[in-house]
Amino acid sequence: MLWRIVSFLLCQALPALAAWIFFSGSGEREALALLSALAGCYLWWLLDALRGRRILLWLRSGDTSQIPLGGGLWGELFDRIRKLVRARDRAVSESDKRLEEFLAALQASPNGVVLLDAEGRIEWFNQTAADHFGLDSGRDLQQHLGNLVRDPGFAAYMSAKDFRHDVEMPGRSSSNTKPVKLSVQLHPYGEGRSLLLSRDVTAVEQAEAMRRDFVANVSHEIRTPLTVLAGFVETLLSLPLNEEERTRYLGLMELQAQRMQTLVNDLLTLSRLEGSPLPPAKDWVVLDSLMAQCQQEARDLSALLSAAPRALHFSLDGPMEVAGSASEIHSAMSNLIGNAIRYSPAGKPIEVRWVSLPQGGAEFSVRDQGQGIAPEHIPRLTERFYRVDRSRSRETGGTGLGLAIVKHVSQRHGAELSIESTPGKGSTFAIHFPAGRVRQKQIA
């Protein structure tokens, strides 16, 4: 500020002094000196105004580059304004960066997120919400959500304006063959704005339905033999029976007790498979001894279920070993073989094979010539207690857990279970083991 005053005085004093000295012999020297001082004052104000105008133009243009103003009041003012502008730009840049990070986090959220203004118009949504509701960012921004999501349940939820709980509705991609269920809830915030969250609860609903079915099936499977046992016990206690009748009733009781024991063992096997670590890939199971064990068990089961001889063909494509758990692989093999024996007519052959695959790995397959399975049942065969024919399964003593055990064993060994079946012609169940878990038998 001091320099501004000094420069103003010098711009007046120097021209006046120069005029006073230059026109020393003139009688109008005082007037000329005064005019020179006024001219210097005008020049100073003109230059000062030009510097001020440069700052004004700089502010209007929004440019943050340096302009040569030198020192003085305008130079200091320019420096201070430029620092403030830079600080503001940094703050805006950091704010934009935080906003982008926040939106990126919302974009990565597994839940759908929709931001609505006070009028219910869409301001922003992530890709998950776009998939849930069928939204398009180039078309649906600033559109009313109620005009785009027309589910009656959701419309009633929006009209009631009670957002303390969520509402369930079908997703945009829901169909009869592949249902999708969403849990949607609105959260008001700010000045009338709203945050809409959507969550795909299809898997949760399916898991809950499976849990209910599992409990119901276990209860039913145990209640049936318990009812039979209780009836026979009551008969033995209340009626005088001869030795032949007592023997017959005790045999039926033993059969029901074995049925319950088989069910409990299968449930324990499933529980152990789900809760135990994966089998190590360094333990090798010799398949020829495992095949021999399964072959003997198959003959015993066939003789138990039918007096007529059954053609069982077992073949092993060379000496092989599989990495994994011997007990789990044996369980999967015996379940597939047992199912083929139970659900095949006595006169039809059953083929059990271990073969090497051309691309590496090996395949264990069980092929029967039974009644076959309709295509609509095949995707659900590995569900617990799922049966194509419930009455026929109980007659043969199945628990409905065998294929679920096979599926878990396959997954734990990196293998894949495949099912091929034609009604009236039979079925083939195969487990494909990867090349990393199969090798030729090592000779000691």
pLDDT tens-digit profile of 290-303? 999 999 999 888 88
Q: Mean per-residue pLDDT for 378-386?
A: 83
Q: Is the pLDDT of residue 182 over 90?
A: yes
Mark whether 24 and 49 lie in a shared domain. Answer: yes
| pLDDT score at 198 | 94
Q: Which residues of 19-41 are buried (b: 16+ CB within 10 A; e: fewer)?
A: bbeebeeeeeeeebbeebbeebb
- For tokens 């000691």, what's the residue? 444
Mark whether 359 and 444 lie in a shared domain. Answer: yes
Mark whether 120 and 267 lie in a shared domain. Answer: no
Non-local CB neighbours of 54 within 8 Å, separated by 6+ positions: 67, 69
More confident residue, 53 or 276: 276
Mark whether 186 and 254 lie in a shared domain. Answer: no
**For the CA atoms of the chain, what is the radius of gyration?**
44
Mark whether 321 and 380 lie in a shared domain. Answer: yes
Tens of pLDDT, residue by residue over 184-193, are: 999 998 888 9
Separation of alpha carbons 414 and 230, rounded Å: 44
- The three-state secondary structure class of 185 is strand
C-alpha angle 373/374/377, rounded to 5°? 90
Q: Look up residue 390 and give its two tokens.
A: 């419930």
DSSP letter, residue 378:
G
More confident residue, 66 or 414: 414
| pLDDT score at 386 | 76
**Domain region containing 444:** 278-444
- List the beta bridge partners of residue 439: 321
When mean pLDDT is compared across 136-140, 213-217, 228-232, the lowest value belongs to 213-217
Mark whether 75 and 117 lie in a shared domain. Answer: no
Mark whether 182 and 211 lie in a shared domain. Answer: no
Band of pLDDT at residue 6, cut at 50, 70 and 90? low
Domain closes at, from 240, 255, 276: 276
Mark whether 345 and 213 lie in a shared domain. Answer: no
Separation of alpha carbons 373 and 173, rounded Å: 29
Q: Mean per-residue pLDDT for 237-254?
A: 84
Domain closes at, from 137, 167, 200: 200
> Domain containing 311 — which CATH number?
3.30.565.10
Mark whether 310 and 354 lie in a shared domain. Answer: yes
| pLDDT score at 328 | 92
Laid out side by side, the sheet with 438-440 consists of 284-286, 320-323, 438-440
> Domain containing 243 — which CATH number?
1.10.287.130
Q: What is the largest CA-CA distance in the chain?
A: 165
Q: Is the pLDDT of residue 317 over 60?
A: yes
- Indicate the length of the chain as a whole number: 444
Mark whether 427 and 317 lie in a shared domain. Answer: yes
- Tally of structural domains, the chain: 4
More confident residue, 390 or 93: 93
Domain closes at, from 179, 200, 221: 200
Mark whether 190 and 324 lie in a shared domain. Answer: no
Mark whether 142 and 166 lie in a shared domain. Answer: yes
Q: Mean per-residue pLDDT for 70-89?
A: 72
Alpha helices by DSSP H, listed for 23-71, are: 29-61
> Domain containing 116 — which CATH number?
3.30.450.20
What's the Cα-to-Cα distance from 144 to each of 62, 135, 151, 195, 440, rounded to whole Å? 36, 12, 14, 14, 66
